[in-house]
A and B are shown apart, each in its own frame.
Chain A
Amino acid sequence: MVGFKVISSVKLGIKSLLLHKLRSGLTMLGIIFGVCSVIAMLAIGEGASYEAQEAIKKLGSNNIIIRSLKPAEESQKSGNVGRTFMLEYGLTYADGARLADTIPGVSRVLPMRIIREAVRFDQNEVPCQVIGTLPFYQEIVGVDLLRGRFLTDYDELYQEGVCVLTMGLASRLFPYQDPLKMSLKVASSYYKIVGIVRERNTVEQRSQPGKLTEEPLDNNIYIPLSTSRSRFGEVLTRRTAGSFQMEKIELHQITVQMKDTTAVETADPQIRTLLKHFHANNDYELIVPLELLRQARQTQRIFNIVLGSIAAISLLVGGIGIMNIMLATVTERTREIGVRRALGAKKRDITAQFLVETVVLSIGGGVVGVIIGVITPIMVTHLSGMKTIVTVPSVLLAFGISGAIGIIFGLYPANAAAQLDPIEALRHE
């Protein structure tokens, strides 16, 4: 019986709303825009932070990355001393050993030398990064082996002249040949190509500002660390216009892999203290992806709250619109209310009738809003290429709020209708 009454009330509500199609439509529009903007804004916010978070996640949340930095004050000083001078800075092998020995929770320490050189084969010359590293680079940083093999302990031990190319570099350098059978030339040495990899993520990307999300800079060639050390030496010479610049640098980057994320948190300040002790001139930077990720999430949360509240305000305005219209409707239908009361309707029947109308309006608006709200981000992505993610909670949230608004803003007009004196209402013109 109750179910039947509810169904008939809803039917009646819809019927009454259809009596004023334009008015009902316009009232719904407020809710539609509100719901739509909640979903769309949250989707855009989610999408914006997603890629940044993914990029950070790729760095490895268990990793702490320490990178050599050329100290700014030192390079200023170089101008005073002379045209050529040797700048000594950066991380050392000793640092790596100290990190591995003293910091608790360290699982592995991966040293890297990253040298910018042109790589040549035949007539092709491609500027790239020559990364001298150890075989377990593959596991820590994450590269997919496409062909051949990665560096091995044997290569490292015997300072083999072998290299592994990234896919992009391989196709640029060897458009026609099979790179695996070839050797290429870097600076003055030849390296035999033993494997081709695809980088799952590139730490090096981050050294190129503004290149966080686009196509990876995969002009990389990996050689054994020992080979890099022996062939390039510790002193790197850089030719700049009109002058040589020499820098003595042992390692460009150390990636410390921790056992788990809790170890990352405890190790972060420890590593900072340790390095501060040996590097007074601040020639390094510490990147903690976990921390970055946390910050990114924090930023996204604030972003979401701001966007969400703006959208919620528009929902609120929609709700006020509903209340306004319902109050007008109650006045307009005073006579009908009187008739219904005379024919046996209780106060709560009248309340229910008007509440149902408001809820139908807001739920109807909510449904349409959800549909448009899901389509809008897709269109935004399509038109502007911005990444958007429609999350289920945001849809539920928007829909729930619209339903709640229907009830909250419907209660007052519905009550006002129920409180009308039936005699007065019957006499109302």
Chain B
Amino acid sequence: MKKVAESKPAATSSGNGSRAIIRIEGIKKTYVLSAENIVHALNGVDLSIHQGSYVAIMGPSGSGKSTMLNILGCLDRPTAGNYWLGGDNVATMPDDELSVARGKKIGFIFQSYNLIAQLTVIENIQVPLFYQGVDLARSHDRCVELARLVGLGDRLDHRPAQLSGGQQQRVAIARSLVNDPIMILADEPTGNLDSRTGTEVLEMIDHLNADGKTIVLVTHDDKVAARAHRVIHMKDGVIDREVLNRPGAPAGS
């Protein structure tokens, strides 16, 4: 198992600009609801995200933010366009390969934590490894380490129902790290939390970024977005404007 800091995907060699590990070209997503009612959820989006960047995607509902999230998370395929994730074009992948891509390259953090109720903390952290066919006994130590990292080293055998919301979200963070992903995709990670625990979770995410993890965060909360280096505002299925919070993070090509 590679260490977090060591993960340098082969994106640089794919010729998509320096260190851009995520590259979206002309992504369109069209829902045909009926012959007259065609919705263009995404209408040609271009975006590059570099290794180690911290990006927030914002936008009102109906802006294509969720669709963007689904496509970034490999949960959905675009109608048109290319999506290069760590050197592979996932836009055209069949379902099984897409599953593998999710399992290996993306760490999800959901608004409602989405832990599996019948599994313990440690087992929840192990789920992505299970689907990659990793020997759980051998990776057990690493999972324990991750649980400690998020401050739940003493609750390995608790079930989600026995944990508070903040604790559950921290388990989810540990789970998102276990497969050493290219990108951590967080969907309103603090939406269900009070401001104090929400801040704790966000600080944890900041730390991950500081350690070199690429973070993509979808939110409608300005305060949450303010932590990102780069804030992308979406409107009507296109990128409306982009704000750089820190000079250290260069914008996309």
Are B108 and A343 touching (Cβ within 8 A)?
yes
Which of A19, A336, A342 is within 8 Å of B75, CB to CB? A342
Please encode chain A, from 40 to 53, with 1 for each CB lying within 8 Å of some chain B CB and 0 for all others.
00000000000000
Q: Is A209 an interface residue (CB 8 A)?
A: no
Cβ–Cβ < 8 Å partners of B118 in chain A: 15-16, 19
Question: Please, what's the 1-or-0 string for B98-142, where 1 marks a CB less than 8 Å from any CB in chain A?
Answer: 011011100010100011111100000001101111011000000
Taking a contact as CB atoms under 8 Å apart, the answer to whether B117 and A344 are in contact is no
Interface hit among A1-9, A21-29, A65-73, A239-247 = A1-9
| Cβ-defined contact, A5 with B133, below 8 A | yes
Interface pair B100/A346, CB less than 8 Å apart: yes
A349 to B131, CA, bound (A): 8
How many of chain A's residues have a CB under 8 angstroms from any CB in B? Answer: 24
Q: How many A-B residue pairs have CB under 8 A?
A: 70
Q: Does B96 contact A (CB under 8 A)?
A: yes
Q: Which residues in window 155-188 of B have CB below 8 A to A?
A: 175, 179
**With A15-B118, A345-B99, A426-B110 as contacts: A340 and B131 at CB distance below 8 Å:** yes
- Asked whether, in the complex, the Cβ of B96 is within 8 Å of the Cβ of A347, the reply is yes
A310-350 CB contacts (< 8 Å) to partner B: 335-336, 338-349
- Say yes or no: A340 contacts B133, CB within 8 Å: no
Chain A CB within 8 A of B240 CB: no
Cβ of B95 < 8 Å from any Cβ of A? yes
B76 within 8 A of A: yes
Chain B interface residue bracket vs A: 20 to 34
Residue A168 is within 8 A (CB to CB) of chain B in the complex: no
User: With an 8 A cutoff between CB atoms, is A422 at the interface?
Assistant: yes
Contact A346 B131 (CB under 8 A): yes
Q: How far is the CB of A131 from chain B (nearest CB, A)?
A: 77
Interface positions of A from 403 to 429, Cβ below 8 Å from B: 422-423, 426
In the complex, the answer to whether B135 meets A343 with C-beta atoms within 8 Å is no
Cβ of B133 and Cβ of A1 under 8 Å apart?
Answer: yes
Determine if A336 and B131 form an interchain contact, defined as CB atoms under 8 angstroms apart: no
CB distance from B30 to the nearest CB of A (A): 15
In the assembled complex, the Cα of A119 lies from the Cα of B205 at a distance in Å of 109
Task: Tell me the bound Cα distance from A8 to B110 in angstroms.
Answer: 25
B49 to chain A: closest CB distance in Å? 19
Asked if B76 and A345 sit within 8 Å, CB to CB, the answer is no
A15-B118, A339-B116 known; A344 vs B179 contact (CB < 8 Å): yes
Q: How far is the CA of A343 from the CA of B132 in the complex (A)?
A: 10
A336 B117 Cβ-Cβ under 8 A: yes
Q: Could you tell me if B128 and A343 are in contact, using CB atoms closer than 8 angstroms?
A: yes
Other A-B pairs beyond A19-B117, A336-B116, 7, CB < 8 Å: A5-B130, A335-B114, A339-B116, A342-B73, A347-B96, A423-B75, A426-B110
9 contacts between A and B (CB under 8 A): A4-B135, A5-B133, A8-B130, A339-B116, A342-B102, A345-B103, A346-B95, A426-B75, A426-B114
Q: B residues touching A (Cβ–Cβ < 8 Å)? A: 70, 73, 75-76, 95-96, 99-100, 102-104, 108, 110, 114-119, 127-128, 130-133, 135-136, 175, 179
